[in-house]
Structure 1
Amino acid sequence: MALALVHDLREQRTPWDKDDLAALYTDVLSEFVLARASAGLTTAPFATTPATWS
């Protein structure tokens, strides 16, 4: 029987700052757009987001 040593990572992580969250958001959004493009879907819904409404 093998045993594994497990560490709690919560104590070693530093809190996320504003720049880290912005970088994560950018990465996730770009991966989503690339996945849609590879599936052959268009980005038309992004053109009508509330941020572009006037």
Structure 2
Amino acid sequence: MSTENSKDFMELLQEELDSRINEIESPGYEHVPSLTKGDYVGMISAAIVCVVIIVIGIV
């Protein structure tokens, strides 16, 4: 029974992957813009704040 469920899952997964690939390859697909310098600064700032909060919590 678990083999049938696994097979069904794999078939569903393959169908979903195929539909997403077709969507991405379609001419009307709008690609996500690249990350900017501000995005990287925001990510690094958030990481530093998280590390500081963790260190304060340990001490």
Deviations 1:1-54 (A, max 9, x none): 12333558xx754321000000001000000000000001xxxxxxxxxxxxxx
Report the structure, 1 or 2, having the larger helix content.
Answer: 2
* TM-score of the pair, normalised by structure 2: 0.50
Identity of aligned residues (%): 8
Taking only aligned residues, the RMSD between alpha carbons, in angstroms, comes to: 2.3
Deviating 4+ runs (over 2 angstroms): 2-8, 11-14
Higher RCO, 1 vs 2 (CA within 8 Å, ≥6 residues apart): 1
Give ranges in structure 2 of 5+ residues lacking alignment. 25-30
Larger radius of gyration between Structure 1 and Structure 2: 2
Q: Separation in 1 of the partners of 2:55 and 2:33?
A: 33
Q: TM-score, normalised by structure 1?
A: 0.53
